[in-house]
Chains A and B, each alone.
Chain A
Amino acid sequence: MKQVSFFSERIKPVIIMAVITIICISLVSGIHLSTQELVIANEGLVLKKAVLYAAGVEIPSGNAEVNELYEERVEEQMDESGDVYIVYGEGGSTGGEIEAYAFIAPGPGLWGEIEMLAAFMPDLKTFAGIDFIKQNETPGLGARITEAWFKEQLRGKQPPLVMNPEGTESSASTEIDAITGASRTSDFVLSIFNEAGLRAAELEKEGM
């Protein structure tokens, strides 16, 4: 009798717990493995789209088309100081002319690291455009840096930049509009823009 109660008191809960845990974990692992390829493909796609967007190339709608266009237009140059993505115009990396140099420009944000993709014109002084790959800014405020108007205003601007209040519609080549209510995020991205400018100047010295 004592044996039975020991079993139901101590052993049974452990066995049941173990069985349930194994079922749950294997279920989750199964789903994870079956979607893993998709997740990796998504992550690669985010970078590819960012490079194309920043360089001002129109992004096709299908994922396969994006991959194809990227293969055709972009040459990845792995460097000691970091990767540079060279974007070519019509004709691709064999026949076309260089349209932009792009690289990843990281920097601190309000809540965590912001990873920006900066693309520069061949003169390496003027922004071709930018895109954000990773950011954790406040949704609805700082996270508005990912809105089209904010990213588009960088095209053709020359760092070092200064910021005006939102709605100024800054037209000078060294001025951009900030985001209302997100002054800290605006400061952070501004410094990322300017750091990216310095990096571009370095690339120019290296003879790109």
Chain B
Amino acid sequence: MASKAVKTLITPLGKENPVFVQILGICSTLAVTNKLENTIVMVLGVIFTTTLSSFTFSILRKVIPARIRMMVETLIIATYVIIVDIVLKAYMPEIWQQLGPYVGLIITNCIVMGRMEAFAASNPPGLSLIDGLASGIGYGYVLLIIAFFRELLGSGTILGFSVFGDWWTNWSIMVMAPGAFFVLAIFIWVVKGRMEE
């Protein structure tokens, strides 16, 4: 049991990482990766949602008839996402403003529903909780790495603090849309190249 829990925790971080192996769920968060601060908040929101949605769904899995399964899943996810939205709006209004619609888009993040379908539907709540958490973290750290490079190269700062000083010319392309595509592609390239060896 204990070893299964550990395994559940570790696989999504590497071998079966949702982002660079399965390329899932990048839509909702990629757009905010041009600032590390926003990415951190967004990633925490995703982790919160995947963890608790998997957990909740796993508790209910035996009660729910098959034909309304998808509806219940969507409802559970939407509930947690609205909670994230309300909490951000109340306690971090400035970041909430910047994130705009992307908080709501966690609902359609394929990872959340993917984990519920693939794991929580057939596993006990405890394990599902760990699986959700691990998938969220596996997803989150990749996006944080992308955000780190985009903010560093695009604005010369990390979390708003100047790193390079005045001589640095910002690579504006990094904070613009194409930057995320290139950084993610290079990241996948590096990781896959190392895995092959």
User: Number of contact residues on A: which range applies?
Assistant: 20 to 34
B65 near A8 with CB under 8 A, answer yes
B68 near A31 with CB under 8 A, answer no
Interface string of B50-78 (1 = CB under 8 A from A): 00000000001001110110011001101
B176 near A17 with CB under 8 A, answer no
Knowing A12-B65, A24-B79, A31-B87, say if A140 contacts B71 (CB, 8 Å).
Answer: no
A21 near B100 with CB under 8 A, answer no
Say whether B38 faces chain A, with CB atoms less than 8 Å apart.
Answer: yes
Say whether B167 faces chain A, with CB atoms less than 8 Å apart.
Answer: no
CA distance A143 to B78 in the complex (A): 28
Most chain A CB atoms below 10 A, which of B35, B71, B93: B93
User: Number of contact residues on B: which range applies?
Assistant: 20 to 34
B86 near A28 with CB under 8 A, answer yes
CA distance A181 to B89 in the complex (A): 29
Segment of A34-42, A73-81, A101-109 in the binding face:
A34-42
CA distance A12 to B68 in the complex (A): 10
Query: Which DSSP category, helix, strand, loop or mixed, fits chain B's interface?
Result: helix
B91 near A141 with CB under 8 A, answer no
Say whether B121 faces chain A, with CB atoms less than 8 Å apart.
Answer: no
CA distance A46 to B93 in the complex (A): 9
CA distance A24 to B76 in the complex (A): 7
CA distance A140 to B36 in the complex (A): 11
Q: Which residues of A contact B34 (CB under 8 A)?
A: 139-140
Say whether B154 faces chain A, with CB atoms less than 8 Å apart.
Answer: yes
A39 near B89 with CB under 8 A, answer yes
User: Which of A8, A17, A139 sits near B35, CB closer than 8 Å?
Assistant: A139
Interface string of B114-128 (1 = CB under 8 A from A): 000000000000000
Say whether B135 faces chain A, with CB atoms less than 8 Å apart.
Answer: no
List the interface of chain B (C-beta within 8 A of A): 31-32, 34-35, 38, 60, 63-65, 67-68, 71-72, 75-76, 78-79, 82-83, 86-87, 89-91, 93, 97-98, 100, 154-155, 172, 175-176
29 A-B pairs within 8 Å (CB atoms) are namely: A8-B65, A13-B65, A13-B67, A13-B68, A16-B63, A16-B64, A16-B72, A17-B68, A17-B72, A20-B72, A20-B75, A20-B76, A24-B75, A24-B76, A24-B78, A28-B86, A31-B86, A31-B87, A35-B87, A35-B90, A39-B90, A42-B90, A136-B100, A138-B176, A140-B176, A141-B172, A141-B175, A141-B176, A143-B98
List the interface of chain A (C-beta within 8 A of B): 8, 12-13, 16-17, 20-21, 24, 27-28, 31-32, 35, 38-39, 42-43, 46, 134, 136, 138-141, 143, 180-181
